[in-house]
Amino acid sequence: MRSRLATPGLLGLPLVWLLVFFIVPIGIVGAYSVDALHGPEIFAQAHTVSVDAWTHFFHSSVYLGLFWKSVKMSLIVSLVVVALAYPVAYYLALSGTKRKYVLLLILIAPFLTSYLLRVLAWKVILGNNGVLNSFLAWTGIRSADHPLSQLLYSRFAVMLVLAYVWIPFVALPVFVSLETLDRRLLEAAADLGASRLQAFLRVTLPLSLPGVAAAFLFVFIPTVGEFVTPSLVGGPSGYMYGNQISDLFSTGFPDWETGSVLALFLLGVVTVLTAAFSRFMRIGEVASS
């Protein structure tokens, strides 16, 4: 009897939390998207429930184009970051170094500073008079009058900063999956004549894939809807889907109807993607491992 009551009791609070702070807000955003609710407006307008904003969205090459651009940017960032973080996590987990937790702490040390500061610091590095361009001018590689202006306020700048910001996030799940790897499997592989590369490709890598997939999603999901970094270092070419959502809700002229459609579409895509990844990459194994 007690155990039968304990489960709903334990689950109750998180469920209420989810309902109040996740499901209900999504419902409200959904109501905005069909004009059943409406945001602030300077001109009083008549409101009728309609799916016009949805229709406009799916017929607009602009919004879908921007979404695709953001997906591509996030994909590149996620892949590059995973590729960069993997060797770091591999070294920390499998090299047998005694200082691995100290090194891990150093890796995540940037998180002790403000996100905004970390992004803004890149402006000092990438600007026309920034560290990088000054160095290029000092070495004579580039004239001071013709600095590399593509470094800042560009798509490149957004991807670079996002990669920098997210590397520790990626390294952690990969590290966890590698550290829990059963070392006897590697010994067995060696006993059976596998080279170190073969052991890595056939044992380590496949077994760490759930961690890699989780890491990939850890980066991809937030970056595809990112708007702070692009608004600080992106310029027009680094403008992303998240910026458009933010702008539709706040700057320019509020259009909560369209903004809600964009936000829900993003949520839908991310949900589908997460479900697909969870199914094929068995992310649950990371937790169990």
Name the residues that contact other proteins, by CB under 8 A.
Answer: 39-44, 60, 62-63, 65-66, 127-130, 147, 149-150, 152-153, 235-236, 239, 243-244, 247-255, 258
Q: What angle do CA 273, 277, 83 make, to 5 degrees?
A: 100
Type of residue found at 112: L
Residue 35: left if φ>0, alpha if ψ -120 to 50, beta else—which one? left
Q: Are 85 and 215 in contact (CB under 8 A)?
A: yes
Minimum separation from the CB atom of position 131 to other proteins (A): 12
* Cα 207 to chain centroid, rounded: 23
- CB-wise, 179 or 255, nearer to other proteins? 255
Half-sphere exposure of 245 (CA within 13 A, CB side): 22
> 60 or 113, CB closer to other proteins?
60
Q: Which is nearer to other proteins, 255 or 285 (CB)?
A: 255
Measured from the CB atom, the residue of 120 and 275 that comes closer to other proteins is 120
| Residue closer to other proteins, measured from CB, 21 or 43 | 43
Nearest to 166 by CA among 130, 115, 131: 115
Residue 112 beta carbon to other proteins: minimum distance, rounded to whole angstroms: 26
**Beta carbon nearer to other proteins, 218 or 226:** 226
Q: Closest distance between other proteins and the C-beta of residue 118, in Å?
A: 17
| Minimal distance, residue 160 CB to other proteins, in Å | 16
CB of 261 to other proteins, least distance (A): 12
Q: How far is the CB of 183 from other proteins (least distance, A)?
A: 51
Is residue 195 within 8 A of residue 213, CB to CB? The reply is no
